[in-house]
Amino acid sequence: MDHAASDAIVAAYEVLRRWLGVPDEKWLPTRAKELLPHLKAVTGARPRVPTKAELDRIRYTPITAGFAPIAELSRQIANRRGLAADIDTSGETKGVLLDVAELWELYVLSVLRKAAAPLTVTHGTRDKSATKKLLHSEVSGQGLGTLIPDAILLSGSIIRGVVDAKYKSLHPSASSPNGPQRDDLYQMAAYLGRFQAPVGIETWGLLAYPFDPSKSDTPHAEQNSPWSLDNRKKIGFATLPHNPADAVAKLRALISQSAKPVALSATS
C-alpha cells in the first residue's frame, strides 16, 4: 500500500471530509471506512498529492487493478478539480455539470405560470423588456445597477408582482440566524422599489425556496409572512414542494390570499 495510489485516495478523502462536513462521515461507504485506517497508517494523515505520471507508473495486480480509476479520480478531487465520471484507459474523464439553482428557477417559473393564471408571468432573466436599472443619472440619463428578477406577474401591462427563486434553505443557520439571507432581502427590496404597481395598489414580492423534507417545522420567515416593507409593499416567503401539483396549489393559495394586485418574487 506504500505507493502513489494510496496517497491520492487519502488526500482525496481529506478534501471531501472538509468539503462535506457531515458528522460521523455518513457519506463514506462501509468498505472505505474499513480500508482508510490501513491506508493512513502508511501514508500519514496529509500525504502529498501524486502526479498523473506517478500514478501511471504503478503496477497493479489483477486483484488491485480496480483501484486505478479510483486513484485517478482521487487525484483530481485532491487537486480540487471536482468530480468526474467515466475515466477511460487513457486517464481522461468526462462529466456533466448541472446548474441546480437554474433548474430550481425554471421549476418555480413552470409552477408559477399555472398558479398565477390569468395573470401573465414574464421570465425576467430571459425577457430583456423586464430588465430595469435601479438608478438613473440626472445628468446623462444613464442607468446604473441592472435589476433582473426571475419572474414578473402582469395584468395586461400593469405589474402585479415580482418573483425570485432561491435554491437555498429558508431555515435558520449560523450565517443566517433569521432564515433569509440579508443579500436576498436587499435584492427583493430593490426589486419592489423599481417594479411596482400604480399608486393605491399594494405590491407583493415572494421569495420561493425548496421545501426541506428533513425539517419538520415551518421556517419562521414563512410562518410569519407576509412582511411589510412599507404601506404599499409586502414580502412573502414560501417553501415549495417538489411535487408540481402541490407546488401549484400552494402558490395559488398564496396569490389568492390578497384581493389586491400581487407581486411575486422567486429568488435564485
pLDDT in tens, 86-97: 555 565 666 667
Q: Domain of 67?
A: 4-78
Query: Does residue 184 lie in a domain region?
Result: yes
Greatest mean pLDDT range, 97-101, 110-114, 117-121, 202-206: 110-114
**Res 125: pLDDT:** 62
* Structural contact between residues 194 and 124, judged by C-beta atoms closer than 8 angstroms: no
Band of the pLDDT at 263, cuts 50, 70, 90? very low
Can you give the pTM of this predicted structure?
A: 0.61
Query: Does residue 186 lie in a domain region?
Result: yes
Q: What percent of the chain has pLDDT over 70?
A: 85
Average pLDDT, stretch 27-44?
85
Best CA proximity match to 265, nearest among 129, 147, 99, 118: 147
Quick one: cell of 200? 393605491
Best CA proximity match to 165, nearest among 267, 38, 14: 267
| Listed residues 48, 78, 108: the one ending a domain | 78
Query: Does residue 265 lie in a domain region?
Result: no
| Distance separating alpha carbons of residues 223 and 97, to the nearest angstrom | 35
Number of domains in the chain: 2
**Res 259: pLDDT:** 42
**Res 166: pLDDT:** 95
* Whether residue 194 sits in one domain with residue 110: yes
Query: Does residue 198 lie in a domain region?
Result: yes
